[in-house]
Amino acid sequence: MSPSISIAEAAARFVRALEAERDLSPHTVAAYRRDLEEFTDWASRGKVVSLGAVTRPGLRRFVAFLGSRGLARRSIARKASALRSFMRWSVEKSLIVKDPSEGLETPKLDRPLPKVLRAHDAAALMELPPDDDAIGLRDRAVLELLYGAGLRVGELTGLDVDDVDLRHRSMSVTGKGRKQRRLPIGSAAARAVEAYLAGARAELAAKAKGSHTPALFLNRDGKRLGSRSVRSLMDRYALAEGLPRVGPHALRHSFATHLLDNGADLRAVQELLGHESLSTTQIYTHVSTERLRSVYEQSHPRA
């Protein structure tokens, strides 16, 4: 054990461990770094430099300090979560004996209901990309897979050609934490992907300079399509037709909600989405309830 290690040094080691051991985005790692640097600076102003000198009351005072700055509850909860992860890791690495963040309370969050497209709006969006050019065929396949399989945008852009088995209408998807799951491909999505692979992808790949990528979806330069480009193409079609402006994740939300609306089992939806916890999937039951309430209030004469 290293009782004399400083908070700053321990935090730096923790961030390096995040970069090396976990499959986190650079943005997430940078957020951890900023949150821990903020705590380190605050603690040093109170003459607390050693990691072993951090106490639960001290952490509570830090949370109260964050609240006094007028930070949103969600921001405070994120910073507290970073501290808990850091302290648990410090115990695992024998840098401290006891976790001072155990039982640390943070502001309760009102979890907002996800944005969901109505079924006919989702269907209309699928039909917007033209089917007579390479970009349009690509975009139609992108939208059909996002909505038809409930993919995260990173899962979609990470697909390679070999991940898709059109003969058996299935695909291998790499989700969070590099965990893989096998998903079915619906008939509409299969037709869209097949049409894209029939010639559009080769046309885009021909524009690449140098080595070719195994990526399923390519941009105008023949390189792997990025998440930002997916968001951009969705904005472009939605704005052109006056549809609700939503991001790629709204199609994932719509996928789950429409499945539940039509009687799908919650645990089956959990597996399709790749959620580790059923509680994460249960947010969609609330969405469905809200939709039912809306229909009731608009339709029932005694509502």
Domain residue ranges of the chain, discontinuous segments joined by +: 7-92, 119-299
Identify the active-site residue in 33, 140, 152, 258. Answer: 152
Based on the residue annotation, tell me whether 84 is a catalytic residue of this protein: no
Q: Which CATH superfamily is domain 119-299 in?
A: Intergrase catalytic core (1.10.443.10)
Q: Same fold for the domain at 7-92 and the one at 119-299?
A: no
Query: Which CATH number does 7-92 carry?
Result: 1.10.150.130
- Identify the CA nearest to 156 among candidates 244, 77, 251, 277: 251
Spatial separation of the C-alpha atoms in residues 196 and 135, rounded to whole Å: 9
**Among 168, 176, 220, 293, which one carries the catalytic annotation?**
176
Token pair, residue 92, equals 């695992």
Specify whether 284 is catalytic.
Answer: yes
pLDDT at 245: 79
pLDDT one-digit tens code per residue, 252-290 = 999 998 998 888 888 998 999 988 888 888 887 776 766
pTM summary value: 0.64
- Looking at residue 110, what is its pLDDT? 60
> Is 22 an active-site residue?
no
**According to the model, what pLDDT value does residue 300 have?**
59
Average pLDDT of the residues of the chain:
88
Q: Which two tokens stand for residue 63?
A: 């949370």
Per-residue pLDDT reduced to its tens digit, 121-131: 899 999 999 99
**Catalytic-residue membership of 245:** no
Query: pLDDT per residue over 61-116, tens digit each?
Result: 999 999 898 888 888 989 999 999 999 999 999 999 999 999 887 766 666 667 88
Side by side, which strands form the sheet with 164-165? 164-165, 170-174, 180-184
Binned at pLDDT 50, 70 and 90, residue 1 comes out as very low
Whether 152 is catalytic is: yes
Whether the predicted pLDDT of 243 surpasses 80: no
Q: Catalytic one among 33, 140, 258, 275?
A: 275
E strand or H helix at 182 = strand 180-184
